[in-house]
Amino acid sequence: MQRIIGGKAAPARKASRAPVAAPHPVASPAARPPPAPAVRHLTVGEDGAGQRLDNYLVKTLKGVPKTHVYRIIRSGEVRVNRGRAAADTRLAAGDELRLPPVRMATPAEREAAPPREFPVVHEDEHLLVIDKPAGVAVHGGSGVSFGVIEQLRRARPQAKFLELVHRLDRETSGLLLLAKKRSALTRLQDQFRARETGKTYAALVPGAWPARHKVIDAPLHKYLDGAGERRVRVTGADDEDGQRSITLVQVAAAYAGYTLLDVTIKTGRTHQIRVHLAHAGHAIVGDDKYGDFALNKAFARGEAVPAVKFDRMFLHARRLRFEHPASGETIELEAALPAECRLLLTALPRVAAPPPPP
């Protein structure tokens, strides 16, 4: 190759052999790590007025495990109006919240909940009551990506408002109440706090429950075990963190080696029925946290009751009573025992119930 200089051809120079620096690789957007979580400052709106701090954060911090929410509250990392606050602090419109850096679920992760409807026991423009199956969490968190509320919202995209009024353990089946309006949620939650509702559960326990033992009045203390899992234990009256808890127990039916109980709670503490019955020496059949693990395995294998495999906890929210948030009418609802529970009872020999105490 030649270069033309002043109309004459000039000899070509040899190409330089100097090394050419390789261009810096540019990371694709997909390969870039997500931005690190940052401190957040929130102002409580009208929708959050009256809510407990823990419930507000569980709803706000989508995808953050509930155990972590409680941890940052207890450690003082959550501030309300620049001060520390307890989990049961009631928020007011205009309150200023400071939240520590936490990773929240992305919209894509939240959308991963498959739409699902559940058996409807009662529904109107103000509320919805479903019969929740065992094994389904009521909401995402604590290692669970989604629950009833997320699935219902996906199944009902036209719903402008849908919130849990109360909760059931993942292992518990039965009646679950949801609000379809903010006004209904507030009024129903007020009833639950004032103990103006009636919640009765069916529970199967090993042994013969003494008919005269009708009231369990023992304070409960919540704590986290070594794995960070939530646990509850009966504590003494001198425990400042203990909450008074009252459970009413009535024998519904007696079987050979087992008793079916009707259990009504006057206070709605975490794991209240499970812990109270276990403390009384009659842990619920299938309870994987407070029960007899060897007996649970025998039930799951079909060894405890011949030819019947039972691999869930026998606790079912069978009756619910409350005042309608709009009309004031008393609503009483019932949910029949699930098929697997009925099958187990059918296989157990029935015995005569002991006479009532004098």
Chain centroid offset of residue 94 CA: 27
Under 8 Å between Cβ of 284 and 203:
yes
In whole angstroms, give the CA distance from residue 265 to residue 276.
11
Longest dimension (CA), the chain: 129
Under 8 Å between Cβ of 343 and 305:
no
CA distances in angstroms from 167 to 13, 74, 148, 175, 219, listed in the order given? 83, 22, 10, 10, 20
In whole angstroms, give the CA distance from residue 320 to residue 188.
12
Nearest one of 138, 142, 170 to 228, comparing CA atoms: 142
Q: Per the structure block, which two tokens stand in for 54?
A: 């823990």
**Is there a catalytic annotation at residue 169?**
yes
Question: Which among 169, 190, 292, 311 is annotated as catalytic?
Answer: 169
User: In which residue are the tokens 């931005």 written?
Assistant: 35
Under 8 Å between Cβ of 51 and 91:
yes
Backbone angles phi, psi at 296, to 5 degrees: -60, -45
Nearest one of 129, 282, 127 to 206, comparing CA atoms: 282
**Residue 69, amino acid:** V
Burial class (CB in 10 A: 0-12, 13-18, 19+), 18: exposed
The distance in angstroms from the start CA to the end CA of the chain is 119
CA distances in angstroms from 264 to 39, 199, 317, listed in the order given? 43, 6, 10
Q: Per the structure block, which two tokens stand in for 338?
A: 């699930």
Catalytic residues: 169
